[in-house]
Amino acid sequence: MSKPLRQLAAKCSGIPYTTGSKIQNEYSLINKTLDDLSEIMALKELEMKELSPMLTNNFVTWLFSNKSATAEEITKKMKALKVDFPYPKFCVLALKFVWKDNSIKENEEYEETKAEAIIEKCINTDFSTGTVYHDGDLFYVFLNYNCGNRILPDICINAVNEASENVTAYMVIGPEVDNIFQVSNSCEKIVRGLAYSYLYPDKHIFTYQEIEVYENTPYSHELLVNNMRNSLKCENYHKILSDFDAVIGSLRSEQCSWQAVQSVLLPLTAALNQFIYGKESGNGISQDPTKDFSNLDDFSQSMKQLLLEKNDMDSQKDREESIIINRAKKYISENLIDPQLSLETVAKYLNISPNYLSRYFHNECNITFVAYVTSLKMQYGRKLLLETDMKIEEISRELGYSTPQYFISKFKKQFGYTPNTYRLQLGETDSYQEDSSPKVVV
């Protein structure tokens, strides 16, 4: 045997991986060593294949945790983990779950893990491989594939549908790139794109191109919001609901940016809170409806329900005030010439405070209590002028006035004539009719 072969045989005998069986000669030793090493290499390759998904997951986790990593850092990490991707195209998906039943949230971790596993199964096909990365309430899906742009949305739709047993899934598909170094560039925008599920809760898949359109569409909302504010000032509930629907419909139909949505909803909600709960109240349905409601439909329905309830309450209040005012008017009419008639005596009779009665009169009759009573007294004095021979002094005393001059001045303010002139010039042609809507006499 030549010297090189003897040296090779000596090396083989010193290799610890070879079997300890007795070898007949150097040639057999070399052959046996090569067979053993081939077997070891096959086992190592199988081991690496089994570890590959874990190493890939480790790399993807690192990549999403270091979105600003340079190409050199990414290459170094891939070499260290021996990560290689089989397909030429890459894409990142952003995903979030909304619970269909809040009671399921007790098993939130289990349900999310199950949904994550379902999605990972759907995105790993004969022409795509993917990894799901969980970051707080969000999920990133790292996708490596070799299929057309038409097939990719189908994969995503299938994943969303499969995972929707107990949750509603929303997904944004990032741009397709040919270089893994560009993968993390779109993460911020696709995560921001998930916010549009608030506007379009029935749309479960959003593309990067759609988000670009939303983000760059100009939107002017001042007119609609001002209309809404004016309706609130007028307390016209029919107009309020109509204007509210117009604002909500406009946000959807105009495909406006998320920033525009917030610039409309935040001040609008503040105005509605003030209208429903009052300026001094610390209550409110929400300070930020984009955070307190899962979508625009839920916010709209809740706000409209509150507006309808307030309308019912205000209508009931108006009916109660109307009843109080009618009772007050009846009492005043029956006690018009009573010297003790006053705001306080009427309020006591109605078992309410004088301040409440004064405010009710102003709201219901658009007239003060004193002006109302004075007007009724002038009408009664007019009746006495036309239907009796009572002197002005007697009528003045009948009405409870201390001097005829006061009666004369008030009468002239309401009817445009002094009592004597009214009796002389109009007594023969003007028959008395009670005015149910007294004029203001001050």
- pLDDT, one tens digit for every residue, the chain (442 residues): 566 766 666 676 666 655 555 556 766 766 777 777 777 666 666 655 555 678 888 888 888 888 888 889 999 998 888 888 889 999 898 888 877 766 555 677 777 777 778 888 888 888 888 888 888 778 888 888 887 666 677 777 777 777 666 778 888 988 888 888 888 888 888 888 999 999 999 998 898 889 999 988 888 878 888 888 899 988 889 999 999 999 999 998 888 899 999 989 988 888 898 888 876 545 666 778 888 888 999 999 999 999 999 999 888 888 888 888 899 999 999 999 998 999 999 999 999 999 989 988 888 888 899 999 999 999 999 999 999 999 999 999 999 998 999 999 999 999 999 999 998 887 654 444 444 445 444 3
Q: Both tokens of residue 279?
A: 């300026």
Using alpha carbons, list the distances in angstroms from residue 58 to 51, 54, 133. 11, 6, 10
Q: Which pLDDT score, from 0 to 100, does residue 222 have? A: 82
Q: Which pLDDT score, from 0 to 100, does residue 44 have? A: 61
pTM of the model: 0.65
- Those residues whose C-beta lies under 8 Å from the C-beta of residue 170, and which sit 6 or more positions away, are 95, 96, 97, 98, 160, 194, 197, 204, 205, 206
Terminal Cα distance for the chain, rounded: 137
- Those residues whose C-beta lies under 8 Å from the C-beta of residue 325, and which sit 6 or more positions away, are 360, 361, 364, 365
Q: What fold, for 335-426?
A: Arc Repressor Mutant, subunit A (1.10.10)
328 vs 98: CA distance, rounded Å: 56
Q: Both tokens of residue 83?
A: 């990560």
Q: Which pLDDT score, from 0 to 100, does residue 393 have? A: 93
Domain chopping of the chain, boundaries: 1-83, 85-216, 222-315, 335-426
Q: Which DSSP letter does residue 401 get?
A: -
Q: Both tokens of residue 400?
A: 């409870």
Using alpha carbons, list the distances in angstroms from residue 95 to 117, 164, 337, 340, 342. 13, 12, 79, 76, 71
- Those residues whose C-beta lies under 8 Å from the C-beta of residue 24, and which sit 6 or more positions away, are none
Q: Which pLDDT score, from 0 to 100, does residue 372 have? A: 92
Q: Where are the beta strands (DSSP E) in 275-419?
A: none
CA 359 distance to own-chain centroid: 37
76 vs 70: CA distance, rounded Å: 10
Burial 241-268 (b: 16+ CB within 10 A, else e): bebbeebbebbeeebbbbebbeebbeeb
Residue 195 sits at the vertex; the CA angle it makes with 192 and 201, to the nearest 5 degrees, is 150
The angle, 0 to 180 degrees and rounded to 10, between the axes of the packed helices 237-253 and 296-334 is 170
CATH number of 85-216: 3.30.70.270
Strand, coil or helix: what is 96?
strand
Q: Which pLDDT score, from 0 to 100, does residue 392 have? A: 94
132 vs 226: CA distance, rounded Å: 45
Question: Where does residue 401 rank: exposed (0-12), middle (13-18), buried (19+ CB within 10 A)?
Answer: middle
- Those residues whose C-beta lies under 8 Å from the C-beta of residue 295, and which sit 6 or more positions away, are 197, 198, 199, 201
Beta carbons of 430 and 383 less than 8 angstroms apart: no
